[in-house]
Amino acid sequence: MAYYVLLVNFTDQGVRAVRDTPERAEAFKAMAEKSGAKVHTLLWTLGQHDVVSIVEAADDLAATALSLSVSELGNVKTQTLRAFDAADMQQIIGKMA
């Protein structure tokens, strides 16, 4: 399983329905579980992004499918970053030339 950071911004539609955001977050968690991913953290934030989420998924394809699925609903736009834990970083360092 791989880790992904989803940086999320509300669209105009999402801001108009911002009072529903806790329910949408639960729907996102269910959507992730259905696609074989797990939401570890979901936080509403101040600053450049409205929400930051840490998700674990089988691969880039699963993470991208989840990101596109939630974006397709029209309430948010996402940016997905592949993330590496300490064990991954040790393997990366071990492969360095």
- Domain 2-94: which topology? Alpha-Beta Plaits (3.30.70)
Is the model's pLDDT at 87 over the cut of 90? Answer: yes
Which residue ranges make up each domain of the chain?
2-94
Six-digit token pair at 81? 């970053």
pLDDT at 35: 87
Q: Which of 78, 72, 14 is nearest to 49 (CA)?
A: 78
Six-digit token pair at 37? 């991913």
CA 96 to chain centre: 29
Q: What is the pLDDT of residues 2-60, one digit of tens each?
A: 999 999 999 999 999 999 999 999 999 999 999 889 999 999 999 999 999 999 999 99
